[in-house]
Amino acid sequence: MCYNTLMKFIEKIKTKKSQEPEIVRAQIEPYFAAAEAGLSAEQVATRRDGGWPNLPIKPPGKTVAQIVLSNVFTYFNMLFFFLAICVFAVGSWRNAVFLGVVFANMGIGIVQELKAKKTMDKLTVLSTPKGVLVRDGKAVTVPTDEAVRDDIAIFTAGNQIFADAVIVSGKCTANESLITGEAHEIKKEVGSELLSGSFIASGECRARLTNVGADSYVNKLTIEAKKIKEPQKSEMMRSLTKLIVIIGILIIPLGFMMATKEIVWLGRDTQSGVVATVASLVGMIPEGLYLLTSLALTAGVVRLAQKKTLVHDMGCIETLARVDVLCVDKTGTITESKMDVEGVSLLYPDEYSWQETERIIKEYVAAQRADNETMRAIRSRFGGAGGRTPLSVMDFSSAKKYGAVTFSKDESYIFGAPDVMLGSRYTEYEGIIEEKAAKGSRVLLFAKINSEVPEELSPEMLVPIALLMLKNKVREDAPDTFKYFAKQGVAIKVISGDNALAVSEVAKSASIENADKYIDARNFKTDADIAEAMDKYTVFGRVTPEQKKKFVQALKSGGHTVAMTGDGVNDVLALKEADCSIAMAAGSDAACQVSHIVLLNSSFASMPSVVAEGRRVINNIERSASLFLVKNIFSFILAIITLLFTLPYPVTAAQLSLVNGFTIGIPGFILAMEPNSRRISGKFLPNIIKRAAPGGLTNLVLVLGVIISCTVFKIDEKMMGTICTLMLALVGLMVVHRACTPYNLLRKILMVLLCLGFAVSALFLKNLFTLTDINTESRILLVVFGLLAWPVLKTWTKIGEYLNAKYEAFTAHRHKVRKKAKRV
């Protein structure tokens, strides 16, 4: 009862700390600034001081106080302190030596989290989202939390809307899929409302900020979601939490029963009974397991931060370790973002001469507001000066695959993907287009329409003028990067909006396996077509943003763990859907905001080290966690057996602390930080139980054998405890030996130091760890059971492997049956 009250009080303090201080807002009338002038510096200061800044609803990460509280006031720490009070109360202070491990865990946890916080805070400053505002008649770039209500913001394609706003000039299309779930692009003009959390798909506008900070639409949704739903944990953290909850529930009634058995049923004195009960409970508590996991994940985040990689969600480290499919875009990933115009091919030179074509393209470029890589390349080649003012401009859209400019009611020009624009007429030009695409060029069509641009384009309306060939240079490090993934068993899927043949040629030059297997995504009529194609093809061309999302969904439905890289607005939906999303910092704001990981150096070559870090962390956590579970499995089963058969619990808390230190604590933390790039398979909890069970059951068999033998040969309890301690240490070191295989220099040194450390402690610190000298009969027992240790461990291991193989065969058969039934 007292504990529950204390924990509720601490939780209240932590919650209070994590909330933003309440902002007092002064009554300031809305000001409708001119789009070209914006607010003055004085007006900005008035709104900032008056409580109208665009502050986030919560500070990033934990505060220092929260870090200390979360490491000190844990359920098991409180339980350890209670057990320590019990042994102090009966005068057996030496059996409170386990507190040393508890304080060490707290200290290490606090120091490591503070160190991680310092590193992440520095990196977060570098990646703080920024916006362009108009102030005192000038466009300035500032962090979005420095914007205030009534500011005039400039939004262009790829920008995420950071506060609710109303357009005062210009027009654009907005994608609200991140907040509404609808993927349609919505036209926005003067007077239209822009919702925070949506992003600009195309166009450019200036908008007055109306709702900022906690008042904005997206922040209201966030606050409401927090009331309804706790943040999602990774599979590993969910498993650990579940395990700890189960242990936490079972340990209390078991403790009462163990105390009753030791003091009442066996008639032992109070000190001996309390010491034995405390020892049994200490053995059941996985005191360093949760800490080890948190530290390993935190260390992984810090190491990634040192490599200029920002992790938004710590749980994605585990997902990275399990990734078996990586979806990539062509531009910015396989190739450099920068494009160059490689050539121009006039389709009807007699009607449209080079001079005439060049003039029209210049006018088109001058009229277009878009500032994407394609337009930059064309501006660089043709210049951006035009003599005519357009009637209307349609910015390029990822959904439509083209853009347009209208100069009069009977003269418009359209520029984009030839196969999309030409439709049924594509076969007329297929030969020349495919010839250019086969060289890896991005081929775009420039055409005329003798009218204004309609909502739905008809191929018969087009008068083709010229083909423009653009090319991105393949990144120098791309081939090595993709070879790494092939070696690691990670399949690559290239998903692009460009021509499938052109993308295939680029993928081949980047050494992507099966790059010759390509398909045009317009061939897909149903979701079933997509699911079937994901198994057959590697390269997908003419993919729409909505299809990218469906591709990821299909892969996930097929049992794959999917990572997605992207940098553009057209990648946002798929990034949001992927198990782990990675954005390039140089890409769009929206892509960076929705992604789990942001590569601050925007280099795809960083991906192998990012994936390797994920695998290193999870592999080592699994390996080290299995060491902790050996003790827990043994302690729980032994406690139940001693209850059922009214046997004395053989070891003390001090003896268990000695064994745990050299067979679990030290090796667990060291092994958790080693390199390990093996891909993860299976679920976390079953994996560690399979690893730990042979060691735990070996301990159980040998200790029960020692207890029975000591009872038969009338060896006293102190000697029995010493023999059991030595047996537990022997088996524990054998388990560590197996975890260290294959050996490297560090593991050899670790193994030698562990053996020496335990031997020195057992010989020279007997009193501290409540060990005693043993007689001849005890030595004989020690030798006999010591010789049995390795064969028993091997036997349990083989039994486990046999049962696991049977289970996997059964699971595989059931999966085949279900898959077959699903097809039918």
The DSSP call for residue 446 is: E
| Maximum Cα interatomic distance, the chain, rounded to a whole number of Å | 113
Measured between alpha carbons, how far is 250 from 635 in angstroms, rounded to an integer? Answer: 12
Count CB atoms within 10 A of the CB of residue 650: 25
Measured between alpha carbons, how far is 52 from 150 in angstroms, rounded to an integer? Answer: 9
**Segment (H or E) for 435:** helix 426-437
CA nearest neighbour of 442 among 368, 497, 509: 497
Secondary structure in 3-state letters for 10-35: HHHHHHHHHCCCCCCCCCCCCCCCCC
Contacts of residue 575, Cβ cutoff 8 Å, sequence gap at least 6: 564, 566, 581, 583, 591, 594, 595
Beta bridge partner(s), residue 188: 172
Asked if 329 is an active-site residue, the reply is yes
Count CB atoms within 10 A of the CB of residue 460: 8
- Return the SS3 of 713: coil
Query: Beta 309-311 vs 185-188: how paired, if at all?
Result: unpaired
- Number of Cα atoms under 13 Å in the Cβ half of residue 573: 24
- Number of Cα atoms under 13 Å in the Cβ half of residue 226: 11
- Return the SS3 of 692: helix
Q: Residue written as tokens 């949001």? A: 576
| Residue 260: φ, ψ to 5° | -60, -45
Measured between alpha carbons, how far is 371 from 529 in angstroms, rounded to an integer? Answer: 35
Measured between alpha carbons, how far is 633 from 693 in angstroms, rounded to an integer? Answer: 7
Beta bridge partner(s), residue 466: 346, 446
Q: Which one is catalytic: 151, 329, 498, 567?
A: 329
Measured between alpha carbons, how far is 804 from 815 in angstroms, rounded to an integer? Answer: 16
Q: Could you tell me what percentage of the chain is helix, strand and coil, using 3-state DSSP and rounding each to the nearest 5?
A: 55, 15, 25
Contact 321, 297 (CB under 8 A): no
Measured between alpha carbons, how far is 542 from 499 in angstroms, rounded to an integer? Answer: 6
Contact 633, 697 (CB under 8 A): yes
Q: Residue written as tokens 């040629």? A: 505
- Per-residue DSSP letters for 724-753? HHHHHHHHHHHHHHHHHPSP-HHHHHHHHH
Contact 617, 324 (CB under 8 A): no
Name the region of 489 (left: φ>0; alpha: ψ -120 to 50; beta: rest).
left
Contacts of residue 706, Cβ cutoff 8 Å, sequence gap at least 6: 650, 720, 723, 724, 727, 781, 785
Contacts of residue 295, Cβ cutoff 8 Å, sequence gap at least 6: 108, 109, 112, 669, 672
Contacts of residue 565, Cβ cutoff 8 Å, sequence gap at least 6: 326, 327, 328, 329, 333, 581, 582, 583, 584, 604, 607
| Residue 788 CB burial class (10 angstroms; 0-12, 13-18, ≥19) | middle
Tokens of 315: 């749980």
Tokens of 205: 């506008």
Per-residue CA distances from 48 to 26, 34, 166 (Å): 10, 20, 20
Catalytic annotation, residues = 329
